[in-house]
Each structure stands twice: as structure tokens, then as C-alpha cells.
């Protein structure tokens, strides 16, 4: 992309409404625009990152054997009356009436609808195990929408639902989700710690929340510092192996890590004092096992091997896709702007032409731009007629992990400068070597 042809409405001033750094940087970098409280347009740069995050979530879900589909945002109230949640859900639910005076709602989550789909088609245990998921917009009429996309009213969520014959199988699905989530967040450059949590209006017995540590997080968390040494890394996972999934769950949940809802001072006090941590965290996902809570009232049953009709065991599993942008920025920025982890960056590299209009720097920049694209990379070429300082400030603000600077002096010796956004370290090399390094 050429910056002169792109739509990147960068703000010079700090927006007053932003209380936290990720919100401020997303507005300044021209990623989002608020249309109403907690409702945002995703401008091209923000939309690009949102898509990259979605792609990672899709890849990791499908790697774990989960199947994508797409359910609508609008749901009928009748479906929710079957589970008893229509009245129970309260003011967070946006209720809508159509011209036929039928009660609809903008889905805050999809347990009822997916259970309805399941019961309409599946009647034999042979179809199990089954996990269906989608990435779809949700609406929750939050009391205090704030912090930009972190607590929106309209927000994008990946929500997945497992259907299993037995509790044991459903617990494997739970463990499998925990493993796939660990991988998902690490690919985004995030450490998200699974913490024992409270199930809230979804209901159920077992649940973990995934928290990214950040001062601006809305949850208070308590943990054993040893947990932050754990890395998922690039281990090979066989998602059909109950043993492997369970042992990874044990590895990542055996140390104390809880949100304030489940925190137990007495148990916490048993950890050596120097390892006890109290901090704040951003909830970027949650997994639940809730057994037959929805399948029983809604009649989602299968016939088992003995010919008996039994309700299926279920769980649901959510990732806050749009909230993740804020969480990643909270975890990765400096005073100049965002620092995107390579896994989610909107462009791989920025090209800064220090002397736009100079025949040699223009043609070298153009050639580099073409070669980076030919190498399968997605570069952003700042071809505007702007001062070097302004170009650097824009690149730093939007946080691309690499910048290539092309100026007449270096070019005389066939040299460009490759700079890492994270370390600030620059190296001189030939344009060809720069392409090679970034490939």
C-alpha cells in the first residue's frame, strides 16, 4: 500500500475522551471511530489488524478440530424463553421489536441458538464429539462502555460450543479449548494466563478466564509468579489425545492464579511470600463446562449405544476478538506509539523515502516496494511529500515492527537502513539484503 493512496486519518492531538493508552493510540493511529457510546467503525488500519486476529483464531480453532459456521446477530426471544434466560439476562440485552410485533434481541451470546441448531439435526451419539464455532458481532448494553474497543457495546467475539456424549468427553473438549487458546494468544505475542473464575450468567461448574496482565485491566487478579515463566512455545499437539490436553491443562493451571471472584486468602497465603502477586488483568477469553444446563430444558438429546435418549454435555468458549486489539496495545507500546507483535501487524514493514521527488530515492523506494511484495510481504510505502520527522512519527505511531529508511546519502553506497520498532536498533545494508532479512 502507498500511504498517499491509503486512508489513514492520523490525529495530531491526544483525544480527550481516551483514558487509557490503547484507546488513545487506536484513535490517534486512525484505527477506529466511535459512532455512538461503545459502537465503533473500524477504519482501514484497525480493520486490517482485526482481520489478522480473526485469521489466527480461525486457524487455531480449526487446528483443534472445531468447525466454523455463522449464526445471525438477531435472535428470537422465544428461543431464550426456552432456556429461561430471556427474563434472567437483564438490561445488558438489547431487545428489539419488529413490525409484526415479534420480540427479537441482538445476541449477547449464542448458547440457545446453537443448541437449537444441534437438536434440529443431530440425534445419534455417532455424530459426537462435535464442536461448532463462529466469529460474530455481539451486543451487550454495558452499563459503562469505556476504554474504546475494550468494553464496547457492539463487539466481535469468537464463541464455540462443544457437544459430547459424556461429562468425560466434554471435559476433554474443555481441556482442548484451553490448549488451543494458549496457542492462539501466544501467536498474537500475548501472555494470557488461565485463571480460575466464576461462571456468571452462562452458568456451570468449571470455568477459566484468560487474563493479560495490565495496570489498566478491569479485573483484580492473584497469582503465583512462577506461572509467568510458562511458555507454550511450538510444541506439537495432538488434539485428539485426552492425555496430552489434560497434562497441558495441569501444567498451566497447577499454580495459584485466580480472579477476585474466586480468590481465597488462606490458599494464597500458603505460597511463599516472594512469589505472591496481586495485579490487574484484562479478560481476553473464557471457557466453560456446563453439562446439560441448556440441552436438558431445550431437548438437545442423542440416542446412546444402549438405545437410550440422553441430553448432551456441553460447554462454551469465548475469545474477545475486538477487545484483543486493546489488550495487545496495552501490553506492547511505548511513548511514541504502538509496537505490533509480528503475528498481528497490519503491514510487515514501512518504507520511508527521506527525499520524495528525488529521482534516485524514488526509484529505489519503488523497486524495494515491488520486491517486498514479490517476496510475499505486505509493505506500507510512505510516498508522501512530508518531512522525514513527520514520516518517522507516523511509522512509530502505527507501530509496524520494521522500517526501511531510504535517503540519498546511503543510496550512493547502495545502502538503506533497517530499523526494529521494538529495539530501535538500526542496521545499514543493501536493499536486497533488507528484503532477504524480512522474508
CB of 140 to ligand ATP, least distance (A): 5
Nearest to 177 by CA among 155, 156, 198, 158: 158
How many CB atoms within 10 Å of residue 134?
Answer: 19
Gap between the Cα atoms of 235 and 23, Å rounded: 34
**H or E segment and range at residue 223:** strand 219-224
**Of 289 and 402, which CB lies nearer to ligand ATP in the complex structure?**
289
**Contact residues for 218 (Cβ-Cβ < 8 A; gap 6+):** 151, 280, 282, 283
- Pick the stretch among 72-80, 278-286, 298-306, 421-429 that binds ligand ATP (CB under 6 A): 278-286
Gap between the Cα atoms of 199 and 244, Å rounded: 25
Residue 217 makes contact with ligand ATP by CB under 6 A: no
Q: Which residues of 121-130 are buried (b: 16+ CB within 10 A; e: fewer)?
A: ebeebeebbb
Residue 284 binding: pick among ligand ATP, Mg ion, none (C-beta 5-8 Å cut-off by kind): ligand ATP
Contact 31, 42 (CB under 8 A): yes
Q: DSSP characters for 262-295?
A: T--HHHHTTS-GGGEEEEEEEEEEEEEEEETTTH
Of 46, 160, 204, 285, the one binding ligand ATP (CB under 6 A) is 285
Residue 284 makes contact with ligand ATP by CB under 6 A: yes
Residue 175 makes contact with Mg ion by CB under 5 A: no
Residue 106 makes contact with ligand ATP by CB under 6 A: no
Backbone angles phi, psi at 12, to 5 degrees: -80, -40
Residue 157 makes contact with ligand ATP by CB under 6 A: yes
Residue 177 makes contact with ligand ATP by CB under 6 A: no
Of 323, 348, 403, 421, the one binding ligand ATP (CB under 6 A) is 323
CB of 3 to Mg ion, least distance (A): 38
Residue 204 binding: pick among ligand ATP, Mg ion, none (C-beta 5-8 Å cut-off by kind): none
Strands across the sheet with 416-420, in order?
A: 379-382, 349-353, 402-406, 416-420, 426-429
Residue 53 makes contact with ligand ATP by CB under 6 A: no
How many CB atoms within 10 Å of residue 15?
Answer: 13
User: Which 277-296 residues touch Mg ion, going by CB under 5 A?
Assistant: 283, 286
Residue 331 binding: pick among ligand ATP, Mg ion, none (C-beta 5-8 Å cut-off by kind): none
Residue 155 makes contact with ligand ATP by CB under 6 A: yes
Residue 60 makes contact with ligand ATP by CB under 6 A: no
List residues binding ligand ATP (CB under 6 A): 109, 140, 142, 151-152, 155, 157, 200, 283-286, 318, 320, 322-323
List residues binding Mg ion (CB under 5 A): 283, 286
Amino acid at each position: 500500500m502507498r500511504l498517499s493512496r491509503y486512508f489513514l486519518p492520523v490525529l495530531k492531538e491526544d483525544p480527550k475522551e481516551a483514558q487509557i493508552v490503547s484507546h488513545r493510540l487506536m484513535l490517534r493511529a486512525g484505527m477506529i471511530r466511535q459512532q455512538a457510546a461503545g459502537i465503533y467503525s473500524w477504519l482501514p488500519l484497525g480493520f486490517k489488524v482485526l482481520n489478522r486476529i480473526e485469521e489466527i483464531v480461525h486457524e487455531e480453532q480449526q487446528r483443534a478440530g472445531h468447525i466454523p459456521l455463522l449464526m445471525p446477530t438477531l435472535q428470537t426471544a422465544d428461543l431464550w424463553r426456552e432456556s429461561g434466560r430471556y427474563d434472567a439476562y437483564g438490561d445488558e440485552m438489547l431487545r428489539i421489536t419488529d413490525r409484526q410485533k415479534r420480540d427479537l434481541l441482538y445476541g449477547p451470546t449464542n448458547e440457545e441458538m446453537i443448541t437449537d441448531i444441534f437438536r434440529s439435526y443431530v440425534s445419534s451419539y455417532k455424530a459426537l464429539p462435535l464442536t461448532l464455532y463462529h466469529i460474530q458481532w455481539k451486543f451487550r448494553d454495558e452499563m459503562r462502555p469505556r476504554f474504546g474497543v475494550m468494553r464496547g457495546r457492539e463487539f466481535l467475539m469468537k464463541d464455540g460450543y462443544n457437544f459430547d456424549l459424556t461429562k468425560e468427553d466434554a471435559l476433554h473438549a474443555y481441556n482442548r479449548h484451553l490448549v488451543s487458546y494458549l496457542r492462539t494468544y501466544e501467536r498474537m505475542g500475548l501472555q494470557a494466563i488461565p485463571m480460575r473464575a466464576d461462571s456468571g450468567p452462562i452458568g456451570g461448574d468449571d470455568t477459566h478466564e484468560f487474563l493479560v496482565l495490565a495496570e489498566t485491566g478491569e479485573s483484580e487478579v492473584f497469582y503465583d509468579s512462577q506461572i509467568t515463566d510458562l511458555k507454550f512455545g511450538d510444541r506439537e499437539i495432538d488434539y485428539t489425545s485426552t492425555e496430552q490436553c489434560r497434562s497441558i491443562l495441569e501444567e498451566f493451571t497447577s499454580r495459584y492464579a485466580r480472579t477476585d471472584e474466586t480468590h481465597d486468602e488462606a490458599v494464597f497465603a500458603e505460597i511463599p511470600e516472594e512469589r505472591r502477586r496481586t495485579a490487574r488483568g484484562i479478560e481476553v477469553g473464557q471457557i466453560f463446562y456446563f453439562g446439560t444446563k441448556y440441552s436438558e430444558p431445550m431437548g438437545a438429546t442423542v440416542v446412546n449405544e444402549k438405545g437410550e435418549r440422553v441430553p448432551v454435555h456441553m460447554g462454551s468458549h469465548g475469545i474477545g476478538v475486538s477487545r484483543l486489539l486493546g489488550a495487545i496495545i496495552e501490553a506492547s507500546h511505548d511513548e511514541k506509539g504502538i509496537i505490533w507483535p509480528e503475528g498481528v501487524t497490519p503491514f510487515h514493514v514501512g518504507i520511508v523515502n527521506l527525499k520524495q521527488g528525488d529521482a534516485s530515492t524514488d526509484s529505489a523506494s519503488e523497486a524495494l516496494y515491488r520486491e517486498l511484495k514479490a517476496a510475499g510481504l505486505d509493505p506500507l510505502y510512505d510516498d508522501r511529500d512530508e518531512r522525514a520527522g513527520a514520516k518517522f512519527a507516523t511509522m512509530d505511531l502505527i507501530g509496524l515492527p520494521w522500517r526501511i529508511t531510504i535517503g540519498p546519502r546511503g543510496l550512493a553506497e547502495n545502502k538503506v537502513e533497517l530499523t526494529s520498532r521494538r529495539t530501535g536498533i538500526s542496521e545499514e545494508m543493501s536493499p536486497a539484503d533488507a528484503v532477504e532479512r524480512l522474508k
